Structure 1
Amino acid sequence: MRRRWRVAGVLAALTLLLTAPLPALAVEEAAQVPVTVPALTDWTPAAGSYRYAPGARLVADGASERRVAGTLADDLRAAGHGTVPVVPGGARTGDIVIDVRPDRTSLGAEGYELAAGKRLSVTAATETGAFYGTRTLLQLLARGDTVPAGRTVDVPRYKERGVGVCACYIHVSMPWLENLVREMAYNKLNQLLLELKVKSDAHPEANTWGYYTKDEIRSLVALGKRYHVEIIPEINSPGHMDPWIENRPDLQLTDSDGNKQPSRLDITRPEALAYYTGLIDEYAEVFTSTSWHMGADEYMLGSDFAKYPQILKYAQDRYGPGATPQDAFIDFVNRVHAHAADKGKRLRIWNDGLTGANTVPVTAGTTVEHWLNVATKPSRLRDQGYPLMNAAYALYLVRGGFHSDTEGLYDQSWDPRSFEGEKLATSDGITGAKISLWPDNGRGETENEVAVALWPALRHIAQATWGDPHPDSTYAAFTARGAAVGHAPGWRDLTRVPVADGSYSFRTRGLTFDAEVARTSDGYVTVRTAEGCLEVRGGKLTLNVPLQPGVAAAPQTCDPRNTLQRWQLEPAAGGYRLVNAITRMPVGVTDDGRLAQYPPDQRTPAVWRLSA
């Protein structure tokens, strides 16, 4: 399986993190350095303090300022700071002033100046910079209504600061993704790569489960826009295409033995390019990003070009007798680049397909996201002029597999110059870095378990891409810093269970059964009947998960380690939906009286009434 199919811990660990002593904060407070993530590097203290109190107003004159102030007002309310009006005009004591001044060019596209005294002001050259200043303000208010007087100028070191999520096979719930967007913005991360499937109108044959509806994506993209997180979509190609072409054998690459390869697109066929670029166009209906990620990794994973002589022939027909099979691969990448460019989008690819065995170069301007140590080193890619992003495997959180050693990276003062296999002397040409979440073993961990490992790693990458990669003397002090600022306003605790443990009758139209409901350590429930614990089982497995609609949910021998026996009670009008923690499909009652899972847009989910 793919290298990126490679997150653990228990929620008790998160509780300990949030309640741990704060070893470094007392020293910082003594110096009057406010505690934030990323840490402020040039705080200049002054006498006195700013106090946020009833009567405070958000002063914003221009359209950009009013948008920033409107989002801040909503977040202040969500954080428990009450309702604060947005007003134009002069500021008075206690007010918060948002000021966008394009002439402040030294602040760049995302930097800001924050000054606290009798009132507090955030000044930036752009709307985005002003927004990041308000994130700092929210963090300053996370520990009380008083901010020490002083001033900071805060500018990021890297342009791209991100998180990548594969929601392409194993569906990731929208509330979880919404939490991620808010948390990213709170920590000044600005780029979310989503490898995922959007339910297609043009190609309904591709709509196997794992997809999102277009309305769901529009909602998530709108949230990202409001919080200055660009959401970049990816459909991996020409490898790992099985989510899209498993029902299109005409587009599958055929090996020399006549076997179809459901994960490999046949790059020699013009219909394959037309199919893929058509998907780009359909995604453009809901994604507004200026980039498109085509993956382009592991095309020959578990095989090699020698098994596909038609690829060499295609390359030689197109580029001459000295061409290599790799040239056909690069040719496909470049044709996708041309289509994306025509749509106003910049292309991004993973690095491992660039083995050096090609004579045809990748089109200039293609951003290379470097995750794997292969023959073509980061320094060579940079020397060739390609924008270079650090997506090192050391930064991966793999569901049921490898977890980034965030503490070790922090202690090493890791920064985006440190790629797999090479550390560059300067940051020239490096766009930034990101952490990546992939589901090698889709049932290895639940979303809530993933979150436990995610938040420290997210704060670390935010720190390493914005400012000093090692602001505190110990990792314990750095994690305490994160605990002090807490979660973003509007962040939802997805571990809350809406009913108490106990015995219940589950009733819906056509079926009633009795079961014991017990909360799991990661915030789901088990549903234990007299015959065993309710579990989804059957059908074809994808990444060790039964993802087919119609698969039965039935009692099995109870196993606390079996994540397919964990369920979410999702509140609905008149009761609850019973949603599997891993497959993310609700169960309903079939015509013959069985329990089975279905995507909610394919069959109306059953609403269960619970009575003790």
Structure 2
Amino acid sequence: MDLIPAPRLADFHEGGLRFEFGPEPELCAGPGAEGAARRLRRELGAATGWSLPAAGPGPAGAGAAGTGTVARIRLGIDPAAVGGAGPGSASGSGAGPGPASEAYALTVDATGVELTGASEAGLFWGIQTLRQLLGPDAYRKAPLPGRTWSLPYVRIADAPRFGWRGLMLDVARHFMPKDGVLRYIDLLAAHKLNVLHLHLTDDQGWRVEIKRYPRLTEVGSWRARSRRGHRASPLWDETPHGGYYTQDDLREIVAYAAERHVRVVPEIDVPGHSQAAIAAYPELGNTDVVDTAALEVWDDWGVSENVLAPTEAVLRFYEGVFEELLELFPAEVSPFVHVGGDECPKGQWKASGAAQERVRDLGVDGEDGLQSWFVRHFDSWLAERGRRLIGWDEILEGGLAPGAAVSSWRGYGGGIAAAEAGHDVVMCPEQHVYLDYRQAPGPEEPVPIAYVRTLEDVYRFEPVPPELSPEAAAHVLGAQANAWTEVMEDQGRVDYQVFPRLAAFAEVVWSPQPPPGERDFGSFEGRMAAHYARLDALGVGYRPPGGPLPWQRRPGVLGRPIEGAPPKV
């Protein structure tokens, strides 16, 4: 078996029997499966050349064997029929359909293929398994000559462990054009991942069109140059960098993702990581201590000292931003809105007479209280509109409203504290699932950042800390891997950093939890041999097992390597 992620239960025929498809199999779609049938015809039909006509009367069977019967693929939705796959070990609350509703059952025998989902999502994930079983060429966009198609006799019962299985893609530091985002949605879906967290704003760029504030994209969406490598590097790329998504682009991205049962979580960062917005609208900054009119979109990496001013006018401005954002990301497909809330330097607030007066007026605990005031305001504002706020674990500082959720990035600590306090959590500790971190030691690794996090390291990641009580563990919605793009200037670099480690992460969040210490990397590594061929067919520029290819290296471009193991979290 070379399936990735590994299914909950797979029973292959001991004799190695296979179902041989004829030149024109038929497709039978039951009630509710019409959308899955359209996708199967479009995607599998492109690779095989099959038109997959609707099944007619008569018996199904192995038509290629000369029996007069017809090879068929049958699709259906029946929650009762796949209930044996069982729910995941953690709740899917708020992250879309729960794990049990994403279950599917797949049978291949002499009569053909029968695929049943507990829901449309479950049926869709079953289709991803079907494509893997057909082999790497099932991922191509046109049929190759001389190919024949067959499937092993098998019975599979499967369901995900978690309801939140995600990737955070930073499109603010280096912009990824719309077609690249759509491509990554397809790659997530192929790995049974169901959340795309888009980091849309930062000091280095604003990537979403807001019609009432046109300067956010006219000014804030591009920078004059970019540092090449880590911020200690003396190298610069003097080419202006920029881009943004129009509102129709984002509507398209959301709709495209929804068709593939992927939810898009937008992130607008407040009150830090905001220099691009302040460059566009200087009144958003702390004008009594900084000449904000002279600011430009930041061309360097790191954390800018230029943060939002703690004023009612700034709140009203960002309410306008979020009003337009909510229209682009409807609640039924994107219930969560990410507000960042991390890495907010307090120097300007300490020096600002206006900010200090605000501290006294609000009665908050100093500058940290101002940051909490920002977050709690938008927590209430979003809740009134039927949305849920999620933010990086710094939002715990100063208290958090009951409905807010936490992205635990500085290790497990923030997630543990949040879960024990009754908040939902997405685990994404930097020590385990930051995909901008280098994949191997040695000078050939391009732009080496932080600790070595190998394919095996990611595979051994456990989202639920053992010290959590059962009640708190139920608040772990799942996990996501994070891809920050300061040193990923194009699609090739993103592919290199994300893959193949995202395949290991996908198995962690989908497949059943093994007993402690028994996660079988040897089995996974063996299955990756076939999966690399799938990635090749998909055109993914992954890091090869033997190290970077010549064109994947970046000689002379400085990174930020840290020696030794990451600290325990």
Normalised-by-shorter TM-score class? 0.7 to 0.9
SS in 2 for 1:198: coil
Q: State how 1:512-551 maps to structure 2 within 5 Å.
A: 521=551
Matches of 1:271 and 1:386, distance apart in 2:
30
Matches of 2:176 and 2:8, distance apart in 1:
36
- The question of whether the paired residues in 1 share the 8 Å contact of 2:82 and 2:105 is answered with no
Deviation at 1:75, TM superposition (A): 1.1
1:200 to 207, 210, 217: 210
1:385 aligns with 2:405: no
Matches of 2:29 and 2:477, distance apart in 1:
32
Q: Across the two proteins, how many residue pairs are aligned to each other?
A: 454
User: What per-residue deviation string (whole Å, max 9, x for no partner) do you get for residues 102-146 of structure 1?
Assistant: 445735121111111121111122110011011100111125722
- The question of whether the paired residues in 1 share the 8 Å contact of 2:162 and 2:510 is answered with yes
Q: State how 1:253-272 maps to structure 2 within 5 Å.
A: 253-254=286-287, 257=289, 260=292, 264-272=306-314
Give the equivalent residue in structure 1 for 2:547.
Answer: none
Give the equivalent residue in structure 1 for 2:45.
Answer: 77
Matches of 1:90 and 1:451, distance apart in 2:
47
Give the equivalent residue in structure 2 for 1:345.
Answer: 387
Give the equivalent residue in structure 2 for 1:147.
Answer: 151
Comparing 230-239 and 184-193, the one that deviates more = 230-239
Deviation at 1:337, TM superposition (A): 1.6
Matches of 2:82 and 2:401, distance apart in 1:
32
SS in 2 for 1:219: helix
1:483 aligns with 2:516: no
Higher strand share: 1
- The question of whether the paired residues in 2 share the 8 Å contact of 1:312 and 1:328 is answered with no
Q: Relative to 1, partners in 2 of residues 1:158 and 1:138: Cα closer, same or farther, differing over 3 Å? A: same
SS in 2 for 1:203: coil
SS in 2 for 1:352: helix
Deviation at 1:459, TM superposition (A): 0.5
User: What per-residue deviation string (whole Å, max 9, x for no partner) do you get for residues 208-228 of structure 1?
Assistant: 333122232222222211111
Give the equivalent residue in structure 2 for 1:440.
Answer: 486
- The question of whether the paired residues in 1 share the 8 Å contact of 2:25 and 2:50 is answered with no
1:297 to 323, 327, 342: 342
Q: State how 1:451-470 maps to structure 2 within 5 Å.
A: 451-468=495-512, 470=519
User: What per-residue deviation string (whole Å, max 9, x for no partner) do you get for residues 217-245 of structure 1?
Assistant: 22222221111111111111111112222
Q: State how 1:382-461 maps to structure 2 within 5 Å.
A: 382-394=419-431, 395-398=433-436, 400=447, 401-402=449-450, 405-410=453-458, 413-417=460-464, 424=468, 427-441=473-487, 445-461=489-505
- The question of whether the paired residues in 2 share the 8 Å contact of 1:179 and 1:492 is answered with no
Matches of 1:364 and 1:89, distance apart in 2:
56
Give the equivalent residue in structure 2 for 1:111.
Answer: 103
Deviation at 1:179, TM superposition (A): 1.8
Give the equivalent residue in structure 2 for 1:248.
Answer: 281
Q: State how 1:212-227 maps to structure 2 within 5 Å.
A: 212-227=245-260
Q: State how 1:270-349 maps to structure 2 within 5 Å.
A: 270-288=312-330, 289-300=334-345, 303=347, 306-308=350-352, 310-311=354-355, 313-318=357-362, 320=363, 323-349=365-391
Kindly, what percent of the aligned residue pairs are identical?
24
Give the partner amino acid of 2:9: D
Give the partner amino acid of 2:485: P
Matches of 2:246 and 2:405, distance apart in 1:
28
Give the partner amino acid of 2:510: W
**Structure 2 unaligned runs (5+)?**
62-70, 86-99, 137-147, 201-206, 223-242, 296-303, 438-446, 514-518, 543-549, 559-569
SS in 2 for 1:349: strand
User: What per-residue deviation string (whole Å, max 9, x for no partner) do you get for residues 417-449 of structure 1?
Assistant: 25xxx965764321111111112346xx53213
- The question of whether the paired residues in 1 share the 8 Å contact of 2:436 and 2:497 is answered with no
Deviation at 1:273, TM superposition (A): 1.1
Matches of 1:82 and 1:403, distance apart in 2:
47
User: What per-residue deviation string (whole Å, max 9, x for no partner) do you get for residues 259-318 of structure 1?
Assistant: 6596645453111111112111212333332211111111127x4753446445434433
Matches of 1:448 and 1:403, distance apart in 2:
21
- The question of whether the paired residues in 2 share the 8 Å contact of 1:70 and 1:86 is answered with no
Matches of 1:158 and 1:458, distance apart in 2:
16
Give the equivalent residue in structure 1 for 2:178.
Answer: 174
- The question of whether the paired residues in 2 share the 8 Å contact of 1:297 and 1:352 is answered with yes
1:191 to 185, 191, 195: 195
Give the equivalent residue in structure 1 for 2:68.
Answer: none
1:61 to 30, 34, 37: 30
Give the equivalent residue in structure 1 for 2:163.
Answer: 159
Q: Relative to 1, partners in 2 of residues 1:49 and 1:286: Cα closer, same or farther, differing over 3 Å? A: same
- The question of whether the paired residues in 2 share the 8 Å contact of 1:312 and 1:323 is answered with no
Deviation at 1:154, TM superposition (A): 0.6
Matches of 1:478 and 1:100, distance apart in 2:
29
Q: Relative to 1, partners in 2 of residues 1:337 and 1:89: Cα closer, same or farther, differing over 3 Å? A: farther
SS in 2 for 1:169: coil
1:126 aligns with 2:173: no
User: What per-residue deviation string (whole Å, max 9, x for no partner) do you get for residues 167-219 of structure 1?
Assistant: 11321123322221111101100000111221222111111333122232222
SS in 2 for 1:483: helix
1:39 aligns with 2:24: no
Q: Relative to 1, partners in 2 of residues 1:403 and 1:189: Cα closer, same or farther, differing over 3 Å? A: farther
Q: Relative to 1, partners in 2 of residues 1:147 and 1:423: Cα closer, same or farther, differing over 3 Å? A: farther
Give the partner amino acid of 2:177: S
Matches of 1:410 and 1:276, distance apart in 2:
36
Give the partner amino acid of 2:342: D
- The question of whether the paired residues in 2 share the 8 Å contact of 1:38 and 1:187 is answered with yes
Give the partner amino acid of 1:169: R
Matches of 2:150 and 2:309, distance apart in 1:
61
- The question of whether the paired residues in 2 share the 8 Å contact of 1:61 and 1:88 is answered with no
SS in 2 for 1:235: strand
Q: Relative to 1, partners in 2 of residues 1:133 and 1:258: Cα closer, same or farther, differing over 3 Å? A: closer
**Structure 1 unaligned runs (5+)?**
1-33, 496-519, 524-558, 564-612
SS in 2 for 1:129: helix
Give the partner amino acid of 2:192: K
Higher helix share: 2
Deviation at 1:40, TM superposition (A): 2.2
- The question of whether the paired residues in 1 share the 8 Å contact of 2:495 and 2:540 is answered with no
Q: Relative to 1, partners in 2 of residues 1:120 and 1:252: Cα closer, same or farther, differing over 3 Å? A: same
User: What per-residue deviation string (whole Å, max 9, x for no partner) do you get for residues 382-409 of structure 1?
Assistant: 1111101111113113394347613241
Give the partner amino acid of 1:125: A
User: What per-residue deviation string (whole Å, max 9, x for no partner) do you get for residues 143-163 of structure 1?
Assistant: 572222121111111110011
**Alpha carbon RMSD of aligned pairs, Å?**
3.2
Give the equivalent residue in structure 1 for 2:404.
Answer: 366
- The question of whether the paired residues in 2 share the 8 Å contact of 1:366 and 1:387 is answered with yes
- The question of whether the paired residues in 2 share the 8 Å contact of 1:456 and 1:482 is answered with no
Give the equivalent residue in structure 2 for 1:99.
Answer: 76
SS in 1 for 2:43: helix
SS in 2 for 1:44: strand
Give the equivalent residue in structure 2 for 1:7.
Answer: none
Matches of 2:183 and 2:106, distance apart in 1:
26
Q: State how 1:560-599 maps to structure 2 within 5 Å.
A: none
